[in-house]
Structure 1
Amino acid sequence: MTVTPSHAARPATFPSAEDEVVEICRDLLRIDTSNYGDDSGPGERAAAEHVAALLSEVGLDVDVFESAPGRTSVVTRVEGADRSRPALVVHGHLDVVPARADDWSVDPFAGEERDGMLWGRGAVDMKDMDAMILAVLRRMIRDGRKPARDLVVAFFADEEAGGVQGAQWAVDRRPELFEGATEAVSEVGGYSVDVDGHRAYLLQTAEKGLWWLRLVADGKAGHGSQVNLDNAVTRLAGAVARIGAHRWPLRLTPTVDALLRGVADLTGLPYDPHDPDAVDRLVAALGPAAAFVGATVRHTANPTQLDAGYKANVVPGSASATVDARFLPGHEAEAEAQLRALAGEGVRFETTHRDVALEVPFSGGLVDAMSAALLAEDPGASVLPYTLSGGTDNKSLSRLGITGYGFAPLRLPADLDFAGMFHGVDERVPLDALRFGVRVLDRFLATC
């Protein structure tokens, strides 16, 4: 989009991006966009309208659209200095997982500042990155500067329920919005960890696939006092117990292997990819980030919900359970076969939502630009690749051939349980980390 001359002519009257990012993040945290996965929440419209206003204020043309009432996404395009190059998608999501106020030390939707941190649901997942994107773009345009290449800037709905009504809907119904784009950056990468006293930034180059499924067992309904050898609850309980107790073997993908080799170099610990104990020691050296990384050395499958019966003395004719399965890139078929074997006879699988695993190279111009931007602000640090145990909207964009990375840069205190902030209680982000992220993101967009 063309920047209006009036914005570039008076940059001194506007706040710096480092100052504005805190205000923008606070305002977003105060908008409840809880996603319950069933359209019962408030939706993203209020946040989307706020984001659209911030973009329109600096002269950008904004496309605001809904997949369903209240399920609102925002997309704009920013003209780059070199328009001959493919565009870069810079995206975030506006929804958050629900929060129970009684569990929190603060109101999860108050955007409270305390102890040098901004507290609230979405502070790290991912209204912090949304705010960094907005603050950097607003300052860049007001200064009359252009990013290195065209940007497609998107703020999606529904990521926390798999993106069906957000990024996936946009890819299916509005693919022209991403025309000419070949790469993307988004959440859960570029954050720092302390490795034996050395700061390293984990750049997300892979993410596990997901399969949310219902296990359904059928049986013979009857009176609870009678012998029943075809009990659906018994059959389902066995399947759930076997899946929940299964210890998946080590399966190290190229990204995980590269990360562990990097940690071994920083710590001096031995690395043997075939030794679970050696792998566990290296994962533990990542401190709080071990919760993310430890789930990426193998497949996982966790039973999460059970549903059966309606009265104590009635054997129901069916019973069901929900399982959250996460597969490593390149090994999805292997994991599915194991799950079906564990479930056993008489249990059928119903897919609630399924999406791909991703793995992309830790090399190339975009990776170089991300690494250089981080190291310019933190000389002497290291940058390592890693696999995200969860998923992002990069899954949907991959269907358009867009290569996605996780890059929401934050320099964090060594003892902060960053992984525990995601979907956790008392979610918060340091103000200094937000300001650091703005500086890194500005450098990155100017050189990418």
Structure 2
Amino acid sequence: MGLKSVLLAVTSALALGFLTFSGTARAADDGEPAFRALFKELVETNTAPGVGSCTLAAQRMETRLKAAGFTDADLHLFIPESAPNDGGLVATLKGTGSKKKPILLLAHIDVVAARREDWTRDPFTLFEEDGQFYGRGVADDKGQAAIFTDLLIRYKREGYKPKRDIKLALTCGEETEGVFNGAKWLSETHKDWIDAAFALNEGSYGVDDASGKHVSFDVEAAEKVYQDFTLQTTNPGGHSSRPRPDNAIYDMADALKAISAYEFPVKLNDATREYFTRMAPIAGGADGTAMRDIVANPQDAAADAQLSKDPAWHSMLRTTCVATLIEGGHAVNALPQSVKADVNCRIFPGTSVAEVQQALATAINNPKVALSLNGAPSPATPAPALGRDILGPIETAVAEVYPGVPVLPTMEVGASDGIYTTAAGIPTYGLYGFFEGPDEGNIHGLNEHVGVQSLMEGRRFFHKLVKLYADQ
């Protein structure tokens, strides 16, 4: 290799973070400088809807994987014709031929919009201050996307040969409704690229208290299904000086009050049953007693009432539906002719959208109120089984990286792209691997942040965990 070629190679390596600035071919200890460079590039690639490009972020991660030795045969860069900025990437680290199906690492690279004038710092520049990383997506979900991408690069450079294939999918569209969703598209169109025994995805954080002490390491072992419904009432209307008993606003008000008063029945699955069992001694007192009682008897009304004082626990125990938008009327001096409202439901895993719609219709009990789906029905995704083959390696890795911290399986009351992979037959579990305090890193809000040490510990955690799974 000539001098010019050597200089070009060194320059390229420096740009990708593979060499230190001294020019030596070492990456300090476990390659943290290279990880920091990758993380910085990913955060500083704007992937917000409408103004950013997931495709560019995916292409940049593809470049890094190729520099580490991944071939074209190992990589699938996909760019939808209908949404050229919403591309994604699938990468595979080949195993040694185990008959066990691969492991899938799933992370979304799109982020919620962020306006520079609202933030203390530029949201699309990575800042490190007072032990925190700041930037849009550092916690949701580019921290994990960077860890997963770096993990494959690190394994490749270590010469690690897993027994089973390890797959990575970086996708767009998780944060925005009604756009091209890469995880959904892959699950429905190219499942062969991502097919796996199970997937690890975003979901639950480790929980820190206000002092920064680790309280629990939460693992999302189930998640609710998101579904919107539209309620509509109509009326001939008329002059407001001549009111009449049938009024579109009153009909809607009655319907929404009926939904507010309706409680879906308590249900438990592997995730919530294990959560309340393990949380009971931590919570103690009346809450701890109620947790033990609800596990023993899901129909225990007293236990339900005690736990439902906490909105998070109330949501973990059942399907919930709540009014979120309303519009109606056309003039201040006219009887309303039409009123429309949105009811947002978070459906307990395994419950069909049709069941929920019927329950709402029964609660409303008024033929004047039209109830319809807002958008396509979400899949009635069942809760994945939570066996020792999944939970055991997590407990082992936590004991090594976070000794003494209890592992709590839980159910995500929101929703993620895991609904698509689970519906496609790839059981999906959510864990970030790092910890957040009571403000949860201010995800989706101003000045989103994640602890520097916490992110590095999460990187160490996944390096251990994925090897445990890959060598099963």
TM bucket by the smaller chain?
0.7 to 0.9
CA contact (8 A) 2:228 2:345 kept: yes
Match of 1:352 among 350, 369, 375: 375
Contact 1:293–1:388 (CA under 8 A) maintained in structure 2: no
Q: Give 1:253 shift.
A: 3.4
Q: Give ranges in structure 1 of 5+ residues lacking alignment.
A: 1-6, 285-289
Distance 1:45 1:225 in 2: 58
User: How far did residue 17 of structure 1 move?
Assistant: 4.0
Q: 1:133 to 1:272 in 2, by over 3 A?
A: same
Alpha-carbon distance in 1 for matches of 2:302, 2:340: 36
Q: Tell whether 2:233 aligns with 1:217.
A: yes
User: Aligned letter for 1:55?
Assistant: L
Residue pair 1:64, 1:74 contacting (<8 A) in 2 also: yes
- Aligned positions, number: 428
Letter in 1 for 2:419: K
Q: Following superposition of structure 1 onto structure 2, how do residues 8-47 of structure 1 map, counting pairs within 5 Å?
A: 12-14=25-27, 16-35=30-49, 40=50, 42-47=52-57
Instruction: Report the counterpart of residue 177 of structure 1 in structure 2.
Output: 193
1:90 aligns with 2:100: no
Against the structure 1 CA distance between its residues 33 and 233, is the aligned structure 2 distance closer, same or farther, given a 3 Å change threshold?
A: farther
Structure with max Cα Rg: 2
Residue 305 (structure 1) aligns with = 325
Alpha-carbon distance between aligned partners in 2 of 1:251 and 1:77, rounded to the nearest angstrom: 38
**Which position in structure 2 is the counterpart of 1:153?**
168
Aligned match for 1:404, one of 412, 423, 428: 428
Letter aligned with residue 229 of structure 2: L
Shift of 1:22: 3.6
- 2:254 maps to 238
Cross-structure match for 2:3: none
Letter in 2 for 1:65: F
Q: Secondary structure at the match of 1:305?
A: strand
CA distance in 2 between partners of 1:337 and 1:398 (Å): 25
Match of 1:330 in 2: 350
Provide structure 2 residue ranges, at least 5 long, that are not aligned to the other structure: 1-12
Relative contact order, higher structure (CA 8 A, sep 6+): 1
Task: State the alpha-carbon separation in 2 of the partners of residues 281 and 103 from structure 1.
Answer: 40
Deviation at 1:168, TM superposition (A): 1.2
Matched, 1:341 2:362: yes
Hey, what does 1:380 align to over in structure 2? 404
- Residue 175 of structure 2 aligns to a residue whose secondary structure is helix
TM-superposed CA distance for 1:426, in Å, is 3.1
Q: Does 1:295 align with 2:315?
A: yes
How far the C-alpha of 1:172 sits from its partner, in A, is 1.9
2:338 matched to which residue of 1?
318
SS in 2 for 1:189: strand
> Corresponding residue for 2:7?
none
Shift of 1:409: 0.5
Quote the Cα distance in structure 2 between the aligned partners of 1:247 and 1:259.
22
Asked if 1 retains the 8 angstrom alpha-carbon contact of 2:45 and 2:52, the reply is no
CA RMSD of aligned residues (A): 3.2
Deviation sequence 1:123-149 (CA, Å, 0-9, x none): 222111001111222222122223342
C-alpha distance in 2, partners of 1:174/1:233?
47
Match of 1:125 in 2: 140
Structure 2 counterpart SS, 1:243: helix
Q: Distance in 2 between matches of 1:104 and 1:251?
A: 41
- Which of 260, 266, 270 does residue 276 from structure 2 map onto? 260
1:139 is matched with 154
Kindly state the Cα deviation for residue 334 of structure 1 after the two structures are TM-superposed. Answer: 5.1
Residue type of the alignment partner of 1:88: I
Contact 1:64 1:75 in 2 (8 A): yes
Is 1:208 the counterpart of 2:221? The answer is no
Aligned partners of 2:107 and 2:201 also within 8 Å: yes
Given that 1:263 and 1:282 are in contact with CA atoms closer than 8 Å, whether structure 2 keeps it comes out as: no
Identity %: 26
Single out whichever of 118-127 and 107-116 deviates more from structure 2: 107-116
Question: How far apart in 1 are the matches of 2:147 and 2:36?
Answer: 9
For residue 316 of structure 1, report the CA deviation from its aligned partner. 4.8
Aligned-pair CA distance for 1:439: 0.6
1:56 aligns with 2:71: no
